Amino acid sequence: MMGSGRGGSRRRRDPPNGSPAPESPGRSAPSTLAGIGYDSHRLGEDRKLILGGVEIPHERGLEGHSDADVLTHAVIDALLGAAGLGDIGEHFPDSDERYRDADSLELLGSVLRTVSAAGLRIVNVDCTVVMERPKLGPHRQAIRARLAQALGLEVARVNVKATTGEGIGFVGRGEGVAALAIASLEER
């Protein structure tokens, strides 16, 4: 949806005395905004394992009100965080039947429209999936491409990393999957 062109004016200012340029009261104008996101979901039977919109073949999947795409949920929270717009639970409450089995990429699309309406665009997204099994390596590029497409970004601006729980904690015991994300936004 959003173009990847890098045109437009930069808002960098270098006042001669080195002090910040005056802005409207109470509102600073940073050139970039960073946000973090974290999510975890329980692994269970008879569920699909969907990460970044990609279905990963596995005997178990993630449980949740929506499609439980833990990675996309972390990305959504990173974007909302960078934009100062709260969190995923505020925007898509799990008490709302509209979001039962929701496609998380559709929720992401809604968030992108909100972020865009706030006058912001995404610079890059980086994320990490913490999962014991299956190994994410063979699926990493597909997830990266799918997320980049959904975010309207070049693949180079979206990074997907994977690590395991080293056999410890809820991830290591195979009880669940966690994901972390960071997003950087800039004013359009």
Residues that bind Mg ion (CB under 5 A): 39, 73
Q: Give min distance, CB of 23 to Mg ion, in A.
A: 36
Q: Give min distance, CB of 39 to Mg ion, in A.
A: 4
Q: At what angle do helices 140-151 and 104-117 cross, to 10 degrees?
A: 40
CB-nearer residue toward Mg ion: 158 or 178: 178
CB atoms within 10 A of CB 100: 11
Q: Which residue, judged by CB position, is nearest to Mg ion in the bound state?
A: 73
Q: Give min distance, CB of 8 to Mg ion, in A.
A: 34
Count of residues in the chain: 188
CB-nearer residue toward Mg ion: 39 or 132: 39
Three-state SS for 133?
coil
CB-nearer residue toward Mg ion: 63 or 187: 63
Place of tokens 């359009």: 188
Three-state SS for 60?
coil
